[in-house]
Amino acid sequence: MKENVMKTCLKYLFIFVFLLIFADCANLLPSSKTAIKSPWEDFNTTKLEYEKIIPDKTTVDDLNKMSFNPYEVPNIRIMNVTEIIALFMPNPSIKKEDLDLGIQKCIKNKDLCTAYKIEPGVLNKARVGGFWADLFTLKRHTIDTGWEFRGLITIVDGVVTYRDPAGGRPLVKTEEVVRKPLGPLQEIGGALTTEVPKLW
């Protein structure tokens, strides 16, 4: 009975190893997706909607209809006047008079002033390359792709007074290749070097 169980286990193990060798092993590599949930699909869509905001005309109600609502849409941060001053006047050399009139109006009306910091985006992280080299940490090749948007508006008494120029990264693509010729042994060697005390 035990011999049959052992044969069955070895059979399935052989099949598993066979599939790993001859199948597309790259599909077994880990991947992840970090999506900052928003009503906009990409950078350009976000930018087009953002640029519809008109200072001294667009109201908070208009912003809500355009989906720039921090209470319903994630990653729209509400900033107070103290944060606004720290952002636009980081040192004494920058005077209030040097700022845009919309920002000046916001700082002047402290109790009625607020700002929205808008930061939607998507980041995909995938590991590519050889499965076995990745598994044994001989070589790990990671590719990040996606997009990031950055925008900021100031609001006084329910009306937008200033809209920062749209910023961010329309296309994110970075690659990182980490090589460890000795694989796991390289980390073990580093651990031994760190942990073994000096005797002299």
Whether residue 18 lies inside any domain: the answer is no
Is 137 part of any domain? yes
Does residue 124 sit within a domain?
A: yes
Q: Which helix (H) or strand (E) holds 140?
A: strand 139-156
Q: Which domain holds residue 79?
A: 25-194
Is residue 184 a part of any domain in this protein?
Answer: yes
pLDDT at 70: 95
- Provide the pairing of β-strand 139-156 with 167-179: antiparallel
Number of domains the chain contains: 1
Of 182, 131, 127, nearest to 17 by C-alpha is 131
11-49 pLDDT, tens per residue?
A: 555 555 544 544 445 454 455 555 556 788 899 999 999
- Residue 1 in any domain: the answer is no
Supply φ then ψ for residue 145, to 5 degrees. -135, 160
pLDDT at 7: 59
Residue 157 lies in a domain: yes
- Whether 7 is covered by a domain: the verdict is no
Residue 170 lies in a domain: yes
0.85 surpassed by pTM:
no
- Are the C-beta atoms of residues 170 and 133 closer than 8 Å to each other? no
**pLDDT tens figures, 166-198:** 999 998 887 776 665 544 544 554 444 444 444
Among left, alpha and beta (phi > 0; psi -120 to 50; other), residue 129 is left
- Euclidean distance between CA atoms 24 and 2, whole angstroms: 34
